Structure 1
């Protein structure tokens, strides 16, 4: 992801503070035995032992991973944001790292107490996770809206064409992008991963394999976050899926023979939403019933879904057809 960060990094302070507290708490309670209980049965009895600093080191690395992942996802959100909206995914690192801090602060306290039975620390989890989450909600509400300077902002068609021409002359990284990220994508990529992460962390003391499985499932469920992104540059139009930016379609601007707005029935014509194919064309959409139909020079047709169909069609036509000797005009 290129360019200056748009979202403020201070929105991640609760997760960072929870991690710092955990690291400091671990250090001030040293030294530890050469081998400590790190896995427990459901009755609370230890059934696995390991080197303490390896365990604490892995937890710290995992926490840093979630903070870094959250920074990436929040930046992706901010770059697509057209007006201020609450970003629920920004709470991910605070909930996960806060929960981890609560569990392992109790673990360190358990080691110091000399108790023989490990009881799941719901009170620690709720205190650390709850405080970190509450602080994160407050900071997200205070987060200012910062429009992406690389996106097209003009609304009037004539001004829109002028702005596109200016971007092309300046050789901007891209001319325009459009995204479809409906509510059900948020549900799948935010709520489900959070449930997986919290469930996995809560199982750490009893079964690290369950923790690993839950965390991996959670990470995989995050991948579609961001929905479908249509990116227009001077040379091509491409469609990318999710936070990883997997390119699922691209077409050169010199290959586009026709551009038109096309109305359709998602269920009747394509059998649902997503990346679809019928006898007439290939379609890429997550919502709506109108899109931009592109006809390639070889006759093949493609349907690109958009929440701003007319705007996207205008931009594609401008870039593909309104060029003369390298100059873009009206």
Structure 2
């Protein structure tokens, strides 16, 4: 495995991280300004929790709500800045636009309210926030072109003579299966759900759905089963039928084992997309890396990856691919 110098690897993320932080910095700056400009027109406390019909049923102090929203924006911004990759920059802009708009709309709903109990937050606020988030997602996607794509990492070519193989007879069949889990993904998902529940009690009611939207996909990938057989490689969640990743045997040019760093190489945990590779990354360490016919790589972190790679190479060789 070839590794670029650390200084070269850090040049691209610097610009990328700045672009990921930008929408959160703008939102976290504009949000307190609303309170400063409208301080004399806002009740104290504010209506910040609403029923499904939009009627106010929960309240938060004006200063507390200003601080809570600003801290939430900055915390999410810090997370995106630390873990974002070029192909996911749009997600940072979507998150900042969606949350920033929701918080601003809740403040606007309270404007000139004599009695916070009579404040109404219409469901159309969600549509407005989604529209703003969508526009910013497109902007983030366009800005990602300012960041050079990551080069391919890892070994070049298919499986060479030193790649692992299993000694199978001509008529023998074999399969391999292993379940693996991610403690970081599980912890992050549960913390997000807990934070969303706390925010739903103390802050605007959309916080719980927003937290669930982020946490549930992560929890679905927190435990997966990796299967290798005559059909190829399959990675699926053990909790739900989807997500599922399948690489057909006919598309496998070679397989090997590699030590990966989840944060440095993939930017975090879960299903990761890079310029020349994708992966289901649950931790740092041993990973099964499959080179596809297109030249792209797919990696999955799983124990006993060498046995899985050996079986894939043997089965692919039988098909005349190697």
Q: TM-score, normalised by structure 2?
A: 0.48
